[in-house]
Chains A and B, each alone.
Chain A
Amino acid sequence: MSLKRSLSTVGISGFALSALLVLTVLNIIIQNIPRNIQTAGGELLKLNEKDGVANAVTTVVVYFRGFDTLGEIAVLFIASLGVGLMLHVKCQKDIKRESNFMLQTASRYLFPVILLFGIYIMVYGHLSPGGGFQGGVVIASGVLLLLISHKKFEVPYSVIVTLETLAGVSYVFIGLIGLMVLDTFLGNFIPQDVSQMGMLISGGIIPVIYIIVGIKVGSEMSHIAQNLIQRADYV
């Protein structure tokens, strides 16, 4: 990597000066951004009132731009596969140190609360802020707490794989069903009327997809965390 330059004072001051210069230029350019341009967001909000859910961001993430989320899930899937490939350690019997008693009891009582909080965020993703990504990672942080505190605790790989695969396959199947029924990939084929806007069962496939995303993100994040922790402890 021939990017490195020696850390002399000339280097720093040269960089600072050029940064200041470019900063002012950028400021002038970004400042005269037109304020009242008619962004696509406005139209989407109107469209959301008709066939979206209460949380407009969830509608955009899952339904209007659902293909980005499918790609996003693929990125996370490949990342957890890569971390597993790199850091998977076959034989690591009793390598983690036994943590003290207080941490164990505290984590044993905290885990159900965190799990419930994660499930709440995931399930109510289309009504209040939150959703699949955030709920999944909250659950993964709960699993992380157990991984740290309990020596013999380990999420069995078969559970992670089955959850991950079922969620991913069902997400693509929902897309294909939408393709068959409405001739648009990821179309919202479950009819839902606007009166149900604030209710839990509203928005057709949107909450279903977000719960699937949550399961997948949760299993993959705990897989990454588990690999990182086991590998680190195997020093």
Chain B
Amino acid sequence: MFDFFNQSEVIKTIVVLGSMALFFVGLFGLLTRKHIIRIFMSIAIMESSVFLLFIGLSFKSDFIAPIIDKTHKNIAIMNDPIPQAMILTAIVIAMAVLALGVSFAIEYYKLTGRTDIDEMKSLRY
């Protein structure tokens, strides 16, 4: 019963639907949540959904990880290393921006006691 899911077409559909669902959950959180930390969480969820989409669509289930060692020498059946290298960098960049944003939010909370994105109106007089 389970081998229906193993065809690569079905896996690609699952990956696309799953990561896009995650993307829209993040977008929904971004647009409707008011607490600053939840907004950062929604952005983090959107980012991880895009990364999952990329690796999910660029991998072939019958290929192996792109690491050469004594037993796996045949590079013809190795997955594509470029998406993994890109996502590796993008995850660290996303985390750096997130750390900076949270430190801004903590400092802003220390000074004004506000965490609600709507209350940040002081710049509009």
B117 and A4 form a contact (CB under 8 A): yes
Contact with B along A40-84 (1 / 0, CB 8 A): 111011101100001111011100010011001001101100110
B96 and A75 form a contact (CB under 8 A): yes
Q: A87-B106, A87-B107 are in contact. Are A129 and B65 (CB under 8 A)?
A: yes
B20 and A57 form a contact (CB under 8 A): no
Name the interface size band of chain B.
35 or more
Total of A-B residue pairs, C-beta within 8 Å: 143
Contact with A along B6-33 (1 / 0, CB 8 A): 0000001100110011001001101110
A75 and B93 form a contact (CB under 8 A): yes
Q: Is A198 an interface residue (CB 8 A)?
A: yes
Q: Is A133 an interface residue (CB 8 A)?
A: yes
Cβ contact of B88, chosen from A4, A42, A61, A197, cutoff 8 A: A61
B53: A residues at CB distance < 8 A: 30
Which residues from chain B sit less than 8 Å from chain A, CB to CB?
A: 12-13, 16-17, 20-21, 24, 27-28, 30-32, 34, 53, 57-58, 65-70, 75, 78-86, 88-89, 92-93, 96-97, 99-100, 102-104, 106-107, 117-118, 120
Which residues from chain A sit less than 8 Å from chain B, CB to CB?
A: 1, 3-5, 7, 11-12, 15, 19, 22-23, 26-27, 30-31, 33, 39-42, 44-46, 48-49, 54-57, 59-61, 65, 68-69, 72, 75-76, 78-79, 82-83, 86-87, 127-129, 133, 197-198, 217, 224, 227-228, 231-232
